[in-house]
Structure 1
Amino acid sequence: MPVAVFEPGRTPLAARPSPVRFVAPASPRYMRPGSLLTFMSSLPSWLYRPRTSLPDPEGLPRYVAPLPTWLEDLGLRLVWPVVLANVLGTLFGFWYYVPQLSVEPTALWVFVPDSPMATLFVACSLALWASGRGREWVHALGFYGCLVLGLWTPFVLLVFRAGFSYLPLPMYAFLFCSHLAMAVEAFVIHRYAEFRVRAVAVAFAWYLANLLLDYFVPVLGTPHHTFVPAESVGYAVGSFLGQPLLSGPIAHPTGAHLLAAAGAVTTTLLATFLALATRVAKLRVRVGAGAGAAD
Protein backbone atom coordinates (compact mmCIF):
# COMPACT_ATOMS: atom_id res chain seq x y z
CA MET A 1 0.00 0.00 0.00
CA PRO A 2 1.49 3.41 -0.96
CA VAL A 3 2.18 5.80 1.86
CA ALA A 4 1.24 9.46 1.53
CA VAL A 5 4.18 11.73 2.13
CA PHE A 6 3.53 15.39 2.96
CA GLU A 7 6.19 17.97 2.55
CA PRO A 8 6.58 20.55 5.30
CA GLY A 9 4.90 23.89 4.53
CA ARG A 10 2.38 22.44 2.05
CA THR A 11 -1.32 21.94 2.78
CA PRO A 12 -2.61 18.41 2.20
CA LEU A 13 -4.92 18.18 -0.82
CA ALA A 14 -7.85 17.04 1.29
CA ALA A 15 -7.50 20.12 3.50
CA ARG A 16 -7.33 22.63 0.69
CA PRO A 17 -10.44 24.79 0.25
CA SER A 18 -12.48 24.14 -2.86
CA PRO A 19 -12.35 26.84 -5.53
CA VAL A 20 -14.89 29.64 -5.11
CA ARG A 21 -17.59 29.65 -7.80
CA PHE A 22 -19.12 32.98 -8.78
CA VAL A 23 -22.91 32.88 -9.03
CA ALA A 24 -24.35 35.69 -11.14
CA PRO A 25 -27.06 37.70 -9.42
CA ALA A 26 -30.60 37.27 -10.68
CA SER A 27 -30.74 40.51 -12.58
CA PRO A 28 -32.01 41.18 -16.12
CA ARG A 29 -28.41 41.46 -17.32
CA TYR A 30 -27.70 37.83 -16.46
CA MET A 31 -31.23 36.51 -16.91
CA ARG A 32 -31.53 33.54 -19.23
CA PRO A 33 -34.36 33.46 -21.80
CA GLY A 34 -36.16 30.81 -19.77
CA SER A 35 -35.94 32.99 -16.67
CA LEU A 36 -37.32 35.94 -18.63
CA LEU A 37 -40.29 33.87 -19.77
CA THR A 38 -40.83 32.74 -16.19
CA PHE A 39 -40.79 36.35 -15.04
CA MET A 40 -43.26 37.41 -17.72
CA SER A 41 -45.54 34.50 -16.89
CA SER A 42 -45.65 35.73 -13.31
CA LEU A 43 -47.12 39.07 -14.39
CA PRO A 44 -50.84 39.74 -13.86
CA SER A 45 -53.05 38.15 -16.50
CA TRP A 46 -54.32 41.55 -17.67
CA LEU A 47 -50.73 42.56 -18.43
CA TYR A 48 -49.53 39.27 -19.92
CA ARG A 49 -52.37 37.02 -20.98
CA PRO A 50 -52.05 33.25 -20.50
CA ARG A 51 -51.38 31.28 -23.64
CA THR A 52 -54.60 29.33 -23.17
CA SER A 53 -56.60 32.55 -23.71
CA LEU A 54 -55.27 32.99 -27.25
CA PRO A 55 -57.05 31.81 -30.39
CA ASP A 56 -55.29 28.84 -31.95
CA PRO A 57 -53.27 29.43 -35.14
CA GLU A 58 -55.08 28.04 -38.17
CA GLY A 59 -52.08 27.14 -40.28
CA LEU A 60 -52.73 29.81 -42.91
CA PRO A 61 -50.31 30.12 -45.85
CA ARG A 62 -47.30 32.35 -45.33
CA TYR A 63 -48.38 35.01 -47.81
CA VAL A 64 -51.26 35.98 -45.50
CA ALA A 65 -49.65 34.97 -42.18
CA PRO A 66 -45.90 35.66 -42.56
CA LEU A 67 -45.06 36.06 -38.86
CA PRO A 68 -43.79 33.14 -36.76
CA THR A 69 -46.37 31.84 -34.31
CA TRP A 70 -44.29 32.80 -31.26
CA LEU A 71 -44.29 36.45 -32.39
CA GLU A 72 -48.04 36.44 -32.96
CA ASP A 73 -48.50 34.90 -29.51
CA LEU A 74 -46.25 37.50 -27.91
CA GLY A 75 -48.19 40.37 -29.44
CA LEU A 76 -51.52 38.92 -28.32
CA ARG A 77 -50.32 38.06 -24.82
CA LEU A 78 -49.05 41.63 -24.39
CA VAL A 79 -52.25 43.03 -25.87
CA TRP A 80 -52.83 45.80 -23.31
CA PRO A 81 -49.26 47.17 -23.43
CA VAL A 82 -49.57 47.07 -27.23
CA VAL A 83 -52.88 48.96 -27.02
CA LEU A 84 -51.21 51.57 -24.81
CA ALA A 85 -48.31 51.91 -27.26
CA ASN A 86 -50.77 52.52 -30.10
CA VAL A 87 -52.70 55.11 -28.08
CA LEU A 88 -49.46 56.96 -27.32
CA GLY A 89 -48.54 56.73 -31.00
CA THR A 90 -51.93 58.20 -31.87
CA LEU A 91 -51.38 61.18 -29.56
CA PHE A 92 -47.88 61.73 -30.95
CA GLY A 93 -49.22 61.46 -34.49
CA PHE A 94 -51.89 64.10 -33.97
CA TRP A 95 -49.22 66.42 -32.54
CA TYR A 96 -47.00 65.72 -35.57
CA TYR A 97 -49.84 66.70 -37.92
CA VAL A 98 -50.55 70.05 -36.24
CA PRO A 99 -48.67 72.08 -38.92
CA GLN A 100 -50.68 70.51 -41.75
CA LEU A 101 -53.98 70.67 -39.88
CA SER A 102 -53.41 74.40 -39.40
CA VAL A 103 -53.77 74.91 -43.18
CA GLU A 104 -56.39 72.24 -43.96
CA PRO A 105 -60.19 72.75 -43.93
CA THR A 106 -61.58 71.76 -40.54
CA ALA A 107 -64.33 69.68 -42.18
CA LEU A 108 -61.70 67.30 -43.60
CA TRP A 109 -59.45 66.95 -40.57
CA VAL A 110 -60.58 63.35 -40.04
CA PHE A 111 -59.02 62.40 -43.41
CA VAL A 112 -55.69 64.20 -42.91
CA PRO A 113 -53.83 62.48 -40.01
CA ASP A 114 -53.71 59.05 -41.64
CA SER A 115 -51.16 57.35 -39.39
CA PRO A 116 -52.75 58.43 -36.08
CA MET A 117 -56.12 57.22 -37.34
CA ALA A 118 -54.52 53.88 -38.27
CA THR A 119 -53.02 53.37 -34.81
CA LEU A 120 -56.34 54.41 -33.27
CA PHE A 121 -58.15 51.79 -35.38
CA VAL A 122 -55.78 48.99 -34.39
CA ALA A 123 -55.84 50.02 -30.72
CA CYS A 124 -59.64 49.76 -30.79
CA SER A 125 -59.43 46.42 -32.62
CA LEU A 126 -57.08 44.88 -30.07
CA ALA A 127 -58.97 46.33 -27.11
CA LEU A 128 -62.29 44.97 -28.41
CA TRP A 129 -60.83 41.51 -28.93
CA ALA A 130 -59.20 41.49 -25.48
CA SER A 131 -62.53 42.53 -23.96
CA GLY A 132 -64.44 39.81 -25.78
CA ARG A 133 -66.43 42.32 -27.84
CA GLY A 134 -65.12 41.85 -31.36
CA ARG A 135 -66.30 44.09 -34.18
CA GLU A 136 -65.27 42.74 -37.57
CA TRP A 137 -65.38 46.10 -39.32
CA VAL A 138 -63.07 47.60 -36.68
CA HIS A 139 -60.64 44.70 -37.13
CA ALA A 140 -60.67 45.28 -40.89
CA LEU A 141 -60.02 49.01 -40.42
CA GLY A 142 -57.12 48.19 -38.11
CA PHE A 143 -55.65 45.80 -40.68
CA TYR A 144 -55.98 48.26 -43.56
CA GLY A 145 -54.62 51.19 -41.57
CA CYS A 146 -51.58 49.40 -40.23
CA LEU A 147 -50.68 47.84 -43.56
CA VAL A 148 -51.33 50.86 -45.78
CA LEU A 149 -49.64 53.47 -43.57
CA GLY A 150 -47.06 51.04 -42.25
CA LEU A 151 -45.74 50.57 -45.80
CA TRP A 152 -46.57 53.93 -47.41
CA THR A 153 -44.72 56.04 -44.84
CA PRO A 154 -41.36 54.22 -45.10
CA PHE A 155 -41.76 54.37 -48.90
CA VAL A 156 -42.19 58.15 -48.76
CA LEU A 157 -39.35 58.55 -46.25
CA LEU A 158 -37.03 56.74 -48.67
CA VAL A 159 -38.23 58.32 -51.93
CA PHE A 160 -38.09 61.85 -50.48
CA ARG A 161 -35.21 61.21 -48.07
CA ALA A 162 -33.30 64.30 -49.21
CA GLY A 163 -36.29 66.46 -48.37
CA PHE A 164 -36.56 64.91 -44.91
CA SER A 165 -32.98 65.93 -44.07
CA TYR A 166 -34.41 68.63 -41.76
CA LEU A 167 -35.49 65.87 -39.36
CA PRO A 168 -32.99 64.82 -36.68
CA LEU A 169 -31.71 61.32 -37.37
CA PRO A 170 -33.38 59.82 -34.26
CA MET A 171 -36.76 61.23 -35.35
CA TYR A 172 -36.30 59.97 -38.92
CA ALA A 173 -35.35 56.51 -37.63
CA PHE A 174 -38.27 56.51 -35.21
CA LEU A 175 -40.78 57.38 -37.94
CA PHE A 176 -39.33 54.74 -40.26
CA CYS A 177 -39.15 51.89 -37.73
CA SER A 178 -42.42 52.64 -35.92
CA HIS A 179 -44.36 52.56 -39.19
CA LEU A 180 -42.73 49.28 -40.22
CA ALA A 181 -43.82 47.94 -36.82
CA MET A 182 -47.37 48.93 -37.76
CA ALA A 183 -47.11 46.77 -40.88
CA VAL A 184 -45.93 43.86 -38.72
CA GLU A 185 -48.81 44.49 -36.33
CA ALA A 186 -51.30 44.10 -39.17
CA PHE A 187 -50.35 40.43 -39.57
CA VAL A 188 -51.42 39.56 -36.02
CA ILE A 189 -55.06 40.51 -36.60
CA HIS A 190 -55.87 37.36 -38.59
CA ARG A 191 -55.57 35.34 -35.37
CA TYR A 192 -58.83 36.79 -34.03
CA ALA A 193 -60.56 38.41 -37.02
CA GLU A 194 -62.66 36.64 -39.67
CA PHE A 195 -62.22 39.22 -42.47
CA ARG A 196 -65.79 38.81 -43.60
CA VAL A 197 -66.54 40.45 -46.94
CA ARG A 198 -68.85 43.10 -45.48
CA ALA A 199 -66.23 44.12 -42.92
CA VAL A 200 -63.57 44.33 -45.63
CA ALA A 201 -66.00 46.41 -47.72
CA VAL A 202 -66.33 48.93 -44.88
CA ALA A 203 -62.56 49.28 -44.56
CA PHE A 204 -62.11 49.46 -48.32
CA ALA A 205 -64.77 52.18 -48.60
CA TRP A 206 -63.08 54.26 -45.89
CA TYR A 207 -59.62 54.02 -47.41
CA LEU A 208 -60.95 54.48 -50.94
CA ALA A 209 -62.61 57.73 -49.84
CA ASN A 210 -59.38 58.71 -48.13
CA LEU A 211 -57.43 57.92 -51.29
CA LEU A 212 -59.74 59.97 -53.52
CA LEU A 213 -59.71 62.99 -51.22
CA ASP A 214 -55.96 62.79 -50.67
CA TYR A 215 -54.90 62.59 -54.31
CA PHE A 216 -57.61 62.68 -56.96
CA VAL A 217 -60.79 64.54 -55.96
CA PRO A 218 -60.01 67.49 -53.67
CA VAL A 219 -63.34 68.58 -52.22
CA LEU A 220 -62.13 71.70 -50.43
CA GLY A 221 -58.98 73.36 -51.69
CA THR A 222 -56.04 71.19 -52.69
CA PRO A 223 -55.56 67.43 -52.16
CA HIS A 224 -55.23 66.48 -48.51
CA HIS A 225 -52.63 63.72 -48.36
CA THR A 226 -49.86 63.78 -45.79
CA PHE A 227 -47.44 66.60 -46.52
CA VAL A 228 -44.12 65.59 -48.06
CA PRO A 229 -41.09 67.93 -48.21
CA ALA A 230 -41.22 68.20 -52.01
CA GLU A 231 -44.40 70.26 -51.60
CA SER A 232 -44.20 73.89 -50.53
CA VAL A 233 -46.36 75.43 -47.82
CA GLY A 234 -47.12 78.86 -46.52
CA TYR A 235 -45.10 80.69 -43.89
CA ALA A 236 -45.22 80.02 -40.14
CA VAL A 237 -47.60 82.25 -38.20
CA GLY A 238 -47.28 80.68 -34.74
CA SER A 239 -46.71 77.42 -32.91
CA PHE A 240 -48.58 74.82 -30.91
CA LEU A 241 -46.71 72.51 -28.50
CA GLY A 242 -43.50 73.14 -30.42
CA GLN A 243 -44.99 72.50 -33.87
CA PRO A 244 -45.24 75.46 -36.29
CA LEU A 245 -48.64 76.71 -37.42
CA LEU A 246 -48.63 77.54 -41.13
CA SER A 247 -50.53 79.91 -43.36
CA GLY A 248 -51.30 79.33 -47.02
CA PRO A 249 -52.15 76.31 -49.17
CA ILE A 250 -49.90 73.33 -49.80
CA ALA A 251 -48.59 73.08 -53.36
CA HIS A 252 -48.66 69.70 -55.10
CA PRO A 253 -46.01 69.47 -57.85
CA THR A 254 -46.88 66.73 -60.32
CA GLY A 255 -43.84 64.50 -59.83
CA ALA A 256 -43.98 64.35 -56.04
CA HIS A 257 -47.75 64.07 -56.03
CA LEU A 258 -47.76 61.12 -58.44
CA LEU A 259 -45.06 59.27 -56.50
CA ALA A 260 -46.97 59.62 -53.24
CA ALA A 261 -50.21 58.63 -54.98
CA ALA A 262 -48.60 55.56 -56.56
CA GLY A 263 -47.47 54.36 -53.14
CA ALA A 264 -50.92 54.93 -51.63
CA VAL A 265 -52.78 53.15 -54.44
CA THR A 266 -50.40 50.19 -54.34
CA THR A 267 -50.62 49.70 -50.58
CA THR A 268 -54.43 50.05 -50.60
CA LEU A 269 -54.76 47.41 -53.32
CA LEU A 270 -52.32 45.18 -51.44
CA ALA A 271 -54.36 45.49 -48.23
CA THR A 272 -57.55 44.63 -50.13
CA PHE A 273 -56.00 41.57 -51.74
CA LEU A 274 -54.51 40.29 -48.48
CA ALA A 275 -57.72 40.87 -46.50
CA LEU A 276 -59.82 38.89 -48.99
CA ALA A 277 -57.09 36.27 -49.45
CA THR A 278 -57.03 35.78 -45.68
CA ARG A 279 -60.78 35.17 -45.71
CA VAL A 280 -60.45 32.61 -48.51
CA ALA A 281 -57.53 30.88 -46.76
CA LYS A 282 -59.49 30.62 -43.51
CA LEU A 283 -62.46 29.04 -45.30
CA ARG A 284 -60.23 26.57 -47.16
CA VAL A 285 -58.50 25.48 -43.96
CA ARG A 286 -61.83 24.94 -42.21
CA VAL A 287 -63.34 23.06 -45.14
CA GLY A 288 -60.25 20.86 -45.29
CA ALA A 289 -60.41 20.23 -41.54
CA GLY A 290 -64.09 19.31 -41.83
CA ALA A 291 -63.42 16.90 -44.68
CA GLY A 292 -60.58 15.32 -42.72
CA ALA A 293 -62.80 14.86 -39.67
CA ALA A 294 -65.49 13.26 -41.85
CA ASP A 295 -62.98 10.77 -43.22
Structure 2
Amino acid sequence: MNKYILLDKRLLIILFLINLGGTIYGYMWYENQLSNTEPLFFIFVPDSPTASLFFTVFLLFFIFGKHVPYIEALAMITLFKYGIWAVMMNLLTLFLDGTLNWQGYMLMVSHGAMAIQGLLYAPFYQLKLRHIVVASIWTLHNDVIDYVFEQMPVYSSLTIYMNEIGYFTFWLSIISIGLTYFLTVRNKKHHTLPR
Protein backbone atom coordinates (compact mmCIF):
# COMPACT_ATOMS: atom_id res chain seq x y z
CA MET A 1 0.00 0.00 0.00
CA ASN A 2 1.24 3.47 -0.86
CA LYS A 3 2.66 5.04 2.29
CA TYR A 4 1.00 8.38 1.52
CA ILE A 5 -2.43 6.73 1.72
CA LEU A 6 -1.55 5.50 5.21
CA LEU A 7 -0.61 9.07 6.17
CA ASP A 8 -3.89 10.58 4.98
CA LYS A 9 -5.56 12.17 7.99
CA ARG A 10 -9.03 11.14 6.83
CA LEU A 11 -7.96 7.49 6.80
CA LEU A 12 -6.25 7.89 10.16
CA ILE A 13 -9.40 9.36 11.71
CA ILE A 14 -11.52 6.54 10.27
CA LEU A 15 -9.07 3.95 11.62
CA PHE A 16 -9.06 5.71 14.99
CA LEU A 17 -12.87 5.58 15.22
CA ILE A 18 -13.03 1.94 14.08
CA ASN A 19 -10.37 0.89 16.58
CA LEU A 20 -11.99 2.92 19.37
CA GLY A 21 -15.33 1.23 18.71
CA GLY A 22 -13.69 -2.19 18.45
CA THR A 23 -11.83 -1.62 21.70
CA ILE A 24 -15.02 -0.71 23.56
CA TYR A 25 -16.85 -3.72 22.08
CA GLY A 26 -13.90 -5.94 23.00
CA TYR A 27 -13.98 -4.90 26.66
CA MET A 28 -17.73 -5.52 26.69
CA TRP A 29 -17.11 -9.01 25.21
CA TYR A 30 -14.95 -9.81 28.25
CA GLU A 31 -17.56 -8.60 30.74
CA ASN A 32 -18.63 -12.09 31.86
CA GLN A 33 -15.08 -13.32 32.30
CA LEU A 34 -14.05 -10.16 34.15
CA SER A 35 -16.99 -10.58 36.54
CA ASN A 36 -15.37 -13.87 37.64
CA THR A 37 -11.83 -12.54 37.70
CA GLU A 38 -9.86 -11.36 40.71
CA PRO A 39 -9.23 -7.59 40.42
CA LEU A 40 -5.49 -8.28 40.54
CA PHE A 41 -5.74 -9.82 37.06
CA PHE A 42 -8.18 -7.38 35.44
CA ILE A 43 -5.57 -5.63 33.31
CA PHE A 44 -4.26 -8.92 31.88
CA VAL A 45 -7.53 -10.60 30.89
CA PRO A 46 -8.89 -8.59 27.90
CA ASP A 47 -5.88 -9.18 25.64
CA SER A 48 -7.23 -8.14 22.23
CA PRO A 49 -9.08 -5.00 23.37
CA THR A 50 -5.96 -3.83 25.17
CA ALA A 51 -3.93 -4.44 22.01
CA SER A 52 -6.39 -2.37 19.97
CA LEU A 53 -6.38 0.27 22.72
CA PHE A 54 -2.60 0.62 22.30
CA PHE A 55 -3.09 1.11 18.56
CA THR A 56 -5.94 3.57 19.12
CA VAL A 57 -3.68 5.67 21.36
CA PHE A 58 -0.92 5.48 18.74
CA LEU A 59 -3.36 6.71 16.06
CA LEU A 60 -4.56 9.60 18.22
CA PHE A 61 -1.03 10.87 18.73
CA PHE A 62 0.00 10.14 15.13
CA ILE A 63 -2.89 12.20 13.76
CA PHE A 64 -1.39 15.19 15.58
CA GLY A 65 2.15 14.42 14.44
CA LYS A 66 3.34 12.97 17.74
CA HIS A 67 5.00 9.68 18.62
CA VAL A 68 4.62 7.48 21.71
CA PRO A 69 7.27 4.78 21.15
CA TYR A 70 6.43 2.55 24.13
CA ILE A 71 2.78 2.48 23.07
CA GLU A 72 3.83 1.90 19.45
CA ALA A 73 5.92 -1.12 20.48
CA LEU A 74 3.08 -2.51 22.59
CA ALA A 75 0.64 -1.91 19.75
CA MET A 76 2.67 -3.65 17.06
CA ILE A 77 3.64 -6.68 19.12
CA THR A 78 0.24 -7.28 20.66
CA LEU A 79 -1.84 -6.46 17.57
CA PHE A 80 0.01 -9.04 15.52
CA LYS A 81 0.10 -11.59 18.33
CA TYR A 82 -3.54 -11.45 19.39
CA GLY A 83 -4.76 -10.89 15.85
CA ILE A 84 -3.14 -14.15 14.71
CA TRP A 85 -4.02 -15.89 17.98
CA ALA A 86 -7.75 -15.20 17.68
CA VAL A 87 -7.84 -16.32 14.05
CA MET A 88 -6.08 -19.58 14.97
CA MET A 89 -8.32 -20.24 17.99
CA ASN A 90 -11.48 -19.76 15.97
CA LEU A 91 -10.14 -21.99 13.18
CA LEU A 92 -9.31 -24.62 15.80
CA THR A 93 -12.81 -24.31 17.25
CA LEU A 94 -14.27 -24.75 13.76
CA PHE A 95 -12.08 -27.83 13.22
CA LEU A 96 -13.00 -29.44 16.56
CA ASP A 97 -16.70 -28.55 16.65
CA GLY A 98 -17.38 -28.69 12.92
CA THR A 99 -19.20 -25.37 13.15
CA LEU A 100 -18.60 -21.77 14.14
CA ASN A 101 -21.16 -19.09 14.99
CA TRP A 102 -21.25 -15.75 13.21
CA GLN A 103 -19.36 -14.09 16.05
CA GLY A 104 -16.48 -16.50 15.43
CA TYR A 105 -16.25 -15.49 11.78
CA MET A 106 -16.55 -11.83 12.76
CA LEU A 107 -13.71 -12.27 15.25
CA MET A 108 -11.52 -13.87 12.58
CA VAL A 109 -12.07 -10.97 10.17
CA SER A 110 -11.64 -8.23 12.79
CA HIS A 111 -8.59 -9.83 14.42
CA GLY A 112 -7.01 -10.58 11.06
CA ALA A 113 -7.42 -6.87 10.28
CA MET A 114 -5.81 -6.03 13.63
CA ALA A 115 -2.69 -7.97 12.72
CA ILE A 116 -2.50 -6.42 9.25
CA GLN A 117 -2.95 -2.80 10.36
CA GLY A 118 -0.25 -3.18 12.99
CA LEU A 119 2.18 -4.30 10.28
CA LEU A 120 1.12 -1.63 7.77
CA TYR A 121 2.14 1.15 10.12
CA ALA A 122 5.48 -0.44 11.03
CA PRO A 123 7.46 2.00 8.85
CA PHE A 124 6.10 4.92 10.88
CA TYR A 125 6.80 3.68 14.40
CA GLN A 126 9.82 5.33 15.97
CA LEU A 127 11.08 2.43 18.02
CA LYS A 128 14.39 1.75 19.67
CA LEU A 129 15.48 -1.50 21.25
CA ARG A 130 14.49 -0.32 24.74
CA HIS A 131 10.89 0.20 23.64
CA ILE A 132 10.71 -3.34 22.27
CA VAL A 133 12.32 -4.76 25.42
CA VAL A 134 9.69 -3.14 27.66
CA ALA A 135 6.84 -4.24 25.37
CA SER A 136 8.32 -7.76 25.27
CA ILE A 137 8.37 -7.99 29.07
CA TRP A 138 4.70 -6.97 29.16
CA THR A 139 3.80 -9.48 26.45
CA LEU A 140 5.64 -12.46 27.96
CA HIS A 141 4.45 -11.57 31.46
CA ASN A 142 0.91 -11.58 30.11
CA ASP A 143 1.48 -15.12 28.80
CA VAL A 144 2.50 -16.22 32.28
CA ILE A 145 -0.62 -14.64 33.78
CA ASP A 146 -2.81 -16.27 31.13
CA TYR A 147 -1.43 -19.81 31.22
CA VAL A 148 0.13 -20.19 34.68
CA PHE A 149 -2.58 -18.28 36.56
CA GLU A 150 -5.24 -19.46 34.07
CA GLN A 151 -6.58 -16.06 33.05
CA MET A 152 -6.63 -16.84 29.30
CA PRO A 153 -9.66 -16.06 27.13
CA VAL A 154 -12.41 -18.65 27.50
CA TYR A 155 -13.04 -20.92 24.52
CA SER A 156 -15.08 -23.77 26.04
CA SER A 157 -14.25 -26.47 23.48
CA LEU A 158 -10.54 -25.66 23.65
CA THR A 159 -10.18 -25.91 27.43
CA ILE A 160 -8.60 -29.37 27.33
CA TYR A 161 -5.85 -28.05 25.05
CA MET A 162 -4.73 -25.18 27.28
CA ASN A 163 -1.18 -26.52 27.71
CA GLU A 164 -0.70 -26.81 23.96
CA ILE A 165 -2.32 -23.42 23.35
CA GLY A 166 -0.08 -21.87 26.01
CA TYR A 167 2.99 -23.31 24.27
CA PHE A 168 1.78 -22.00 20.90
CA THR A 169 1.05 -18.59 22.43
CA PHE A 170 4.55 -18.32 23.90
CA TRP A 171 6.16 -18.90 20.52
CA LEU A 172 3.67 -16.58 18.85
CA SER A 173 4.86 -13.91 21.30
CA ILE A 174 8.48 -14.58 20.34
CA ILE A 175 7.62 -14.35 16.63
CA SER A 176 5.70 -11.10 17.21
CA ILE A 177 8.61 -9.58 19.11
CA GLY A 178 11.11 -10.68 16.46
CA LEU A 179 8.94 -9.35 13.65
CA THR A 180 8.57 -6.02 15.41
CA TYR A 181 12.34 -5.73 15.83
CA PHE A 182 12.98 -6.71 12.21
CA LEU A 183 10.44 -4.29 10.72
CA THR A 184 11.31 -1.30 12.91
CA VAL A 185 14.68 -1.14 14.63
CA ARG A 186 16.57 -3.20 12.05
CA ASN A 187 15.00 -1.41 9.10
CA LYS A 188 14.92 2.01 10.71
CA LYS A 189 14.15 4.84 8.32
CA HIS A 190 12.83 8.35 8.78
CA HIS A 191 9.29 8.86 7.55
CA THR A 192 7.18 11.94 7.36
CA LEU A 193 4.28 12.48 9.70
CA PRO A 194 0.68 12.88 8.48
CA ARG A 195 -0.28 16.25 7.05
TM-score (norm 2): 0.87
2:122 to 178, 181, 190: 190
CA distance in 2, matches of 1:120, 1:277: 23
Give CA-to-partner distance per residue, 1:191-234, whole Å, 9 cap, x none.
Answer: 22122101101111111110111113x2xxxx101111226xxx
Aligned to 1:76: 7
Residue deviations 1:142-178 (CA, integer Å, cap 9, x gap)? 101210011000111111224594x633x22211110
Contact 1:114 1:149 in 2 (8 A): yes
RMSD: 1.9
The one-letter amino acid of 1:282's match is: K
Aligned ranges 1:55-94 → 2 under 5 Å: 69-70=1-2, 72-77=3-8, 78-94=11-27
Runs of 4+ residues deviating >3 angstroms: 72-76, 162-165
Quickly say closer, same or farther: Cα 1:73–1:259, change in 2 above 3 A. farther
The code of the aligned residue for 1:146 comes to L
Match of 1:271 in 2: 176
Task: Tell me how far apart the structure 2 counterparts of residues 163 and 75 of structure 1 sit (CA, whole Å).
Answer: 39
Question: Given the two structures, how large is their TM-score scaled by the length of structure 1?
Answer: 0.59
Bigger relative contact order (CA 8 A; separation at least 6):
2
Tell me the distance in 1 between the aligned counterparts of 2:13 and 2:187.
Answer: 28
SS at match of 1:282: coil
What is the aligned counterpart of 1:209 among 141, 154, 157?
141
* Distance (whole Å) between structure 1 residues aligned to residue 5 and residue 166 of structure 2: 35
C-alpha distance in structure 1 between counterparts of 2:175 and 2:98, whole Å: 26
Partner SS, residue 154 of structure 2:
coil
Contact persistence 1:75–1:82 (CA under 8 A):
no
Structure 1: where are the runs of 5+ without partners?
1-68, 232-251, 286-295
- Structure 1 SS opposite 2:186: helix
Q: What is the alpha-carbon distance in structure 2 between the residues aligned to residue 168 and residue 262 of structure 1? A: 26
Decide whether the 8 Å contact of 1:163 with 1:229 is kept in 2. no
Aligned to 1:96: 29
Partner Cα distance (2:15, 2:164) in 1: 32
SS at match of 1:230: helix
CA distance in 2 between counterparts of 1:204 and 1:107 reads 21
* Bigger proportion of residues as helix: 2
What secondary structure is seen at the aligned counterpart in 2 of 1:187? helix
* Equivalent in the alignment of 2:152: 225
Q: Displacement of 1:110 after TM fit?
A: 0.7
Aligned residues with identical type, % of pairs = 24
* Aligned pairs for 1:51-200 within 5 A: 69-70=1-2, 72-77=3-8, 78-161=11-94, 162-163=96-97, 165=99, 168-169=101-102, 171-200=103-132
